[in-house]
Each structure stands twice: as structure tokens, then as C-alpha cells.
Copies of this chain bind each other. A is one copy, B any other.
Amino acid sequence: MRGGKRDKPIAGTDEVPKAVVSRLSLYLRELQRWLRAGQDTISSTQLGKTLGLSDSQVRKDLAYFGQFGYPGRGYRCDELIQKIKRILGTDKLWPVAVVGLGNLGRALLGYRGFTHQGFQIVVGFDIDVRKIDQPIDGVPIHHLRELPEVARQRGIRLAILAVPASAAQEVADQIVAAGIEGLLNFAPVSLTLPASVNVVSVDLAVELEQLSFAVVKRASREAGQSQLDTRNEPSV
């Protein structure tokens, strides 16, 4: 029955699984593409197919947040895009800081790709004095010690950590002390931070290892016998 009394706890109380939120981002990406291609509506079956997901899963995921579809018709792309952006918090533009200006950090400063996804890199930080006050791709650079002040002034709540592994924990602590609420960590380290800070980690080596595992597994399977069985030979 639509409308009527609430039959679910209000959002924020019911925990939404991490995997659902990830897929929400993928739905958004796909919807935007679909809309650009001139489609007004999309069904859960269509949306799922392009992402390799079942139609039930698409509907179930969306149902965590409300009723967005039209039975018999599907979902309106533009409407659902707005709804998902609202849910993800990307209906507003988030100013983001990049901390650590090595190869990766500098590349991120130059990457305008996610500005229209709701994120704009507005400032970079480093401790190398030769880099300070030398804007990169128009983005101003400050010494790390100025992070608390700049973050407050500019309302920065998200930061990207791109320093060497050896410095990561220490710098992360400073970022947290500056009041940053969300951290995208590119350093290959498991950070220990207060539960009040949200952390997402991306480790390039880990991703490549998933690939090499898949490749050798497939190769050994096709060869018939397995190189993967690294267990010791039966001792008897």
C-alpha cells in the first residue's frame, strides 16, 4: 500500500549496506549515460543488464531509500538521477583537498573529471617548501600546517591522501585533527583513525593483485592441473 503509515524505520536508522551504496553510484553513472543517449525512462531490468546485476537487486537497492519508480513504466532517468544525487550528497558541490603532491597527487589536481559529479579539488597541501605557493593547474598549494585554517575557511570536509606509505598514518592524524570528516586514502597502509572519520581506501597494488590472481587462476584451470594448490604434499 502506497502512502499510509510508515512500515519502515526512518532512513538513518536502518543501516544501508556498503555494497548498496556502491551500486547506487553505478546506477547514477549509468542513468546519466542513458539520459545523454536520449532515453527518458529505464527499467530495473535494463539498468541491471548494463551493470551485470539482476532486476530484483536494482529494485531492492533503490527501495532502501524510497519509492522512485512507476509500475508498468520503469524509472524516469532525470528524476532518479536527482534522487540518487540527493542520497549520495552530491546535489551540492563538495570542495576537496589533496594532501601530498607526488605523481598521483599532482595528477588529481589536474583531473577535472569529477567536478560535474559533485566534487571539486580546490587546494593542495605538501610539506616540501619548493612546492608551496606554486599553483598546479590553477589550484593553490599550501604547507600542510595551514590545513586546519584553510579547511575551516573554505568549508572543506573531504580530503584525498596521496603521501608515501611511511608518512600516511602521521599525516592522516593531522588531517583528522583539522576536522576533516572523510578521507580517500591512496597510501598502501591500513590507517588507524577514530570511528568518527569515514575512510575509503584505494590501493593500486591490491587491485593489480586481484587481476594477477584471476589471470593465473584461469590459466591454471585451463591447463587442467592447478598451480594454486600450495598446500604441502600429504606427509603420509
Q: Which residues of A contact B (CB under 8 A)?
A: 2-6, 10-13, 16, 18, 21-22, 24-26, 28-30, 33, 50-52, 65-67, 83, 86-90, 94, 96, 103-104, 106-108, 110-111, 113-114, 117-119, 157-158, 181-184, 188-190, 192, 196, 198, 200, 202-221, 226, 228-232, 234-236
Q: Which residues of B contact A83 (CB under 8 A)?
A: 230
**How long is the Cα–Cα vector from A16 to B214 in the complex, in angstroms?**
10
Q: Which residues of B contact A118 (CB under 8 A)?
A: 205, 208-209, 212
Q: Which residues of B contact A86 (CB under 8 A)?
A: 230
Q: Are B113 and A215 in contact, with the CB atoms below 8 A?
A: no
Q: Are A12 and B226 in contact, with the CB atoms below 8 A?
A: yes
Give 8 A-B contacts (CB < 8 Å), ordered by A residue: A25-B203, A88-B213, A90-B209, A96-B208, A117-B209, A118-B212, A119-B205, A158-B208
**How long is the Cα–Cα vector from A89 to B30 in the complex, in angstroms?**
33
Q: Are A202 and B207 in contact, with the CB atoms below 8 A?
A: yes
Q: Are B103 and A18 in contact, with the CB atoms below 8 A?
A: no
